Structure 1
Amino acid sequence: MRRTPARRVLSATLLVASVLAPMAAAPATAAPAVPPSRTVAADCPPHGFDRELTARLDKAIEKVRRQAGIPGVVAGLWMPGKGSYVRATGVADTATREPMTTGVYTRIGSETKTFTVTALLELVDDGRVGLDDPISRYIHGVPRGSRITLRHLAEMRSGLFPYTADATFQHDLLSDPRRSFTPRQVLAYGFKHKNTSAPGKKFEYSNTNLVLLGLVVEKVSGLRLADFLDRRVLRPARLSHTLLPRGFEFPLPHSRGYTNQTLTGEVTDSTDWNPSWAWAAGGMISDLHDLRRWAKIVATGTLLRPETQAQRLKTLPTGIPGTSYGLGIFDSGGWIGHNGSIPGYQTVTVYLPSKKATLVLMINTDIAYQGQEPSSLLARAITEIVTPDNVYDRALPRP
């Protein structure tokens, strides 16, 4: 199948479903018009930053929002001893111009990986799986599966072909974005291809890895992944507004999402697209309150044994200075966590141990600006101001 420019862009974005940034250049299609800003700070908690710092952050966020054509932004920053900053700016819907608010649900894309890997590591703590077990012990039919370990999958070093880079998958998804995919169906798109490298040889971001880990969790636990996450991760973490949906259901309130990942490259509303294709790699939904809690939990290992968390945080080079990747988690300029990108939405949820600081960003577009993810531009602008020695600046290239 001949690949159009729009499909090449989709391959990168879906394959990432989101890695940090910069992204490959997007088509020249314009983003939705950005209405005049309306910053909502009514639900900002007390003890905020001083007026000067707040004004600097307001200005920096609004500058990026307008330059990158981001319809709406939700930003939360908490720094013990210094204060907090919670803002919503722009719009949740470009048609009605309904203002963005801090209380919306959002699709979190690849931040889902932190939940799936946490579930896997809980099974490690239970003694039911080992990180160095081959995937073939649990799932049959994986190319060279006897040599690929669960650790390789969680580290993005399996060498398995990313199913989102398959041209047939891209066509099938974009021809019917509300279509439901099963984990086995999406894996089949990738398994048609030869492995890209030997296990453990190099870093390559691939959703194939996390879909397999989701299947491992299901097989070992005897539960649907959504049910295991609810029982062992979400409830213990007290995340009452986070879920892995069965289909394209989306709790209210939520913003509309805008993408140019279409067969034509034109901008469209992707709010109700079915995220089943991303599943354990990128299908979850959450909100600002829960992501704030999750940032510290995942970075400090609250739900895991200390020795297991230590393994998780052994990050390895990705080929990009300043960014390393561990077991379903990254370190970018000292900020630990993950970001997410799925058509229409991007997020960043990170924690800086040296300052005990938490940063959460939620936006309602995934359209690149000058080859970079808009969420990463926001994170960089904010951290340049509040933590100049720890700037969220580097990101993984699109394969």
Structure 2
Amino acid sequence: MPHVTARLRRGVLAAVAAGTLLTPFAAGALPASVPAAFAAGSPSPSPSTPDVRALTPDVARQLDASVRRVMREAKVPGVSVGIWTPGQPRYVRSFGVADRATGLRMTPDLYTRIGSETKTFTVTALLQLVDRGKVGLDDPIGGYVDGVPNGDRITLRELAGMRSGLFNYTEDEGFFKALTSDPERPFTPRQLLGYAFRHPVLFAPGRKFSYSNTNLILLGLVVEKESGQRLGDYIDQHILGPAGMRNTLFPTGNEFPAPHAHGYTDQTADGKVADATDWNPSWGWAAGAMISTLDDLRIWAPTVATGRLPDGRRMISPATQKQRLVTPPTTIPGAGYGLGVFDVQGWIGHNGSLPGYESLTVYLPATRTTLVVLLNTDIGHDNEEPSTLIGQAVTEVISPRHVFDLPAEPAAR
């Protein structure tokens, strides 16, 4: 299948394709070297280089130039970037167009589909149920959902940490044909699991890392069963409401609040670029259906990384949050993955991708810096996700000791 299917099969964490672990390293540890390519004017890292550079007018100009360079090279229609560090000026800029047909400019207030950043919300819901004693991280999934291959052995922890061994339903040929033949059709969670369960398990539970959207569909069902609420309703009541995220939602179909950017993809049946704005994201459900804005994701980044709400209350207990942030190695040096969250060179958070849109929401605890990137395309460039390219370009300028880099790996089908 073409490269577009490879992106679907890997879901959002395209850099971490299924495969055996490389040489293990300490959770969260940085590699011995930092990428040598830096944006024009950015200093090479040294022991005296700060974790995050002050957002002076000169640094802001360097950021503008770096973002525009990536947009030009990768043919990105539009992007919004937000950087916030306590005690520093904020950087909130939009570039390019939100709608190629009308030329409408990209602006920071637009709603966008956030793809696999949804996983951070689903896992947060699960961890809240852990705190309430409704579920245990080491419970087998078979105790909650029937018919799961190896369901008596795969734990909720292994599902949240992408170490279940279950086949990723977005790799299934039948799923790809069904989605691309009618992108506005709805999918149910059980239909999605059906595509996955027709395949044998890939490896014994816990043996290695393999990013799979199937894991999150199962966790979404667990949340619904043990909370007695629909997943979207639970997230709205117990997560979005307390966090004050009034412009974030879990759609039931292809509804999309205005104003929003149009999204452009080549993940189509014929490989041609299409406008995916009104495609139904139900195929991503607990793994990738949500919608948000730049400012709401600014709230979410530190909430995920610290377990605390903006008012200081706990979203998740300290003990459970500590378990969330255990990020064993993946297949990418310098990148670890915990419970629905990754650590890339010290940046904690997640990225998101689905046809037409990509996002990146991360937090650097060392300086309490938040970075949010929103794009209206998922079309790759030189086998790189556009959100990774922007994230790398931005962090090369502001945090050369912590460069965000998830190099994509080719995925044979």
Q: TM-score, normalised by structure 2?
A: 0.88
Pick one of 295, 304, 314 that aligns with 2:316.
304
Question: Aligned match of 2:401 in 389, 393, 397?
Answer: 389
What is the rounded CA distance, in whole Å, between the counterparts of 2:200 and 2:410 in structure 1?
Answer: 19
Q: Deviations over 1:332-374 (max 9, x none)?
A: 0100000000000000000000011000000000000000001
SS at 1:317 equivalent: coil
Q: Please give the alpha-carbon distance, in whole angstroms, between the structure 2 residues aligned to 1:363 and 1:345.
A: 6
In 2: Cα distance, 1:396 partner to 1:79 partner? 29
The amino acid of 1:391's aligned partner reads: V
Pick aligned residue for 1:314 from 292, 309, 326: 326
Residues 13-32 of structure 1 correspond to what in structure 2 (within 5 A)?
Answer: 13-19=7-13, 21=15
Q: Percent identity?
A: 57
For residues 17 and 146 of structure 2, the distance between their equivalents in structure 1, rounded to whole angstroms, comes to 34
Is 2:274 aligned against 1:262? Answer: no
Deviation at 1:394, TM superposition (A): 3.1
| Match runs of 1:1-399 below 5 Å | 4-5=1-2, 9-19=3-13, 21=15, 49-302=55-308, 303-395=315-407, 397=409
Q: 1:304 to 1:80 in 2, by over 3 A?
A: same
Superposed CA offset, 1:38-96 (max 9, x none): xxxxxxxxxx9322111111100000011100000100001222321000010001111
Per-residue CA deviation, residues 170-218 of structure 1 (Å, 9 max, x unaligned), is: 0011000000000000110010000011100010000000000000000
For the residue of structure 2 that corresponds to 1:177, the secondary structure is: coil
SS in 2 for 1:235: helix
**Matched residue SS, 2:242:** coil
- The structural deviation recorded for 1:14 is 1.8
SS of alignment partner, residue 110 of structure 1: helix
- Distance, in Å, in 2 between the alignment partners of 1:54 and 1:182 is 45
Number of the residue aligned with 1:39: none
Is the partner of 1:57 in helix, strand or coil? Answer: helix
Contact 1:22 1:373 in 2 (8 A): no
Q: Secondary structure at the match of 1:316?
A: coil
User: Does the Cα contact within 8 Å between 1:112 and 1:283 map onto a contact in 2?
Assistant: yes
CA contact (8 A) 1:367 1:373 kept: yes
Query: Aligned-pair distance for 1:398?
Result: 6.0
Letter in 2 for 1:179: R
Paired residues, number: 370
Name the CA distance, whole Å, in 1 between partners of 2:149 and 2:210.
16
Task: Output the CA distance in 2 between the equivalents of 1:229 and 1:93.
Answer: 30
Give the direction of change, closer, same or farther, for the CA distance of 1:363–1:353 in structure 2 (3 Å limit). Answer: same
State the alpha-carbon separation in 2 of the partners of residues 377 and 10 from structure 1: 18
Contact 1:11 1:166 in 2 (8 A): no
What stretches of structure 1 of length at least 5 have no aligned partner? Answer: 25-47
Which residue of structure 2 lines up, in the alignment, with residue 36 of structure 1?
none
Structure 1 residues 249-301: Cα deviation after superposition (integer angstroms, max 9, x where no partner): 00000010000001111000000000000000000000011000000000001
- Would you say the 8 A contact 2:7–2:14 is kept in 1? no
In 2, the alpha carbon distance for the partners of 1:263 and 1:137 equals: 38
CA contact (8 A) 1:23 1:371 kept: no
Retained in 1: the 8 A contact 2:362–2:370?
Answer: yes
The 8 Å contact of residues 323 and 395 in structure 1, kept in 2 or not, is answered as no
Q: Distance in 2 between matches of 1:397 and 1:230?
A: 35
The DSSP-based 3-state class of the residue aligned with 2:61 is helix
> How big is the shift at 1:15?
2.6
* Matched-pair contact (CA < 8 Å) for 1:347–1:363: yes
How far does residue 23 in structure 1 lie from its aligned partner after superposition?
Answer: 8.5
- Unmatched 5+ residue regions in structure 2? 19-53, 309-314
Instruction: Tell me the distance in 2 between the aligned counterparts of 1:339 and 1:194.
Output: 28
| Alpha-carbon distance between aligned partners in 1 of 2:84 and 2:364, rounded to the nearest angstrom | 10
The two structures, once aligned, show a CA RMSD in angstroms of: 1.4
